[in-house]
Amino acid sequence: MNILIIEDEQLAVYMVSQQLRRLKPNAQIIGIKDSVASSVEWLTEHAAAPDLIIMDIGLADGQSFDIFDQTSVKCPVIFLTSHEEYALKAFALKNSLGYLLKPVKKEELEAALAKFDHMMEFFKYRQDVIV
């Protein structure tokens, strides 16, 4: 599993990265971006690369929702935030997989990753049945 992290708080990046390494030792963190602009640029250049994005909502140059307006996001997203008020907007996006409040609890991240695994198995099964 290839994961892109979009987060502008270094401590949050560190904590999530450490939790990911424990929960998904075979996962690869293929990029860490800290702004809307750098995320849009990266996603435009690597559109097929991430299997999952873990993204903060509040970034230095805007909200991560702006990324969806500027480029195509073709994978599931787990949102991280310190603000509960964005939950409805996050879940309105078709590829929203989870909404975790900071500081992220290991159990909540683990549940979101299990949901991702289940979703991937479901789509793999459907693809196998269709083919």
Confidence at residue 128, expressed as pLDDT on a 0 to 100 scale: 53
Domains of the chain plus CATH, in order, are 2-130 (3.40.50.2300)
Confidence at residue 45, expressed as pLDDT on a 0 to 100 scale: 93
Output the six-digit token pair for 102.
């900071």
Looking at the DSSP bridge assignments, the partners of residue 99 are 79
**pLDDT higher than 80, residue 46:** yes
Confidence at residue 129, expressed as pLDDT on a 0 to 100 scale: 46
What Å distances lie between residue 54 and 7, 59, 75, 77, CA to CA? 8, 13, 10, 6
pTM comes to 0.89
Mean pLDDT within 67-96: 85
Residue pair 104/80 in contact (Cβ under 8 Å)? The answer is yes
- Least confident interval from 84-88, 98-102, 103-107, 119-123: 84-88
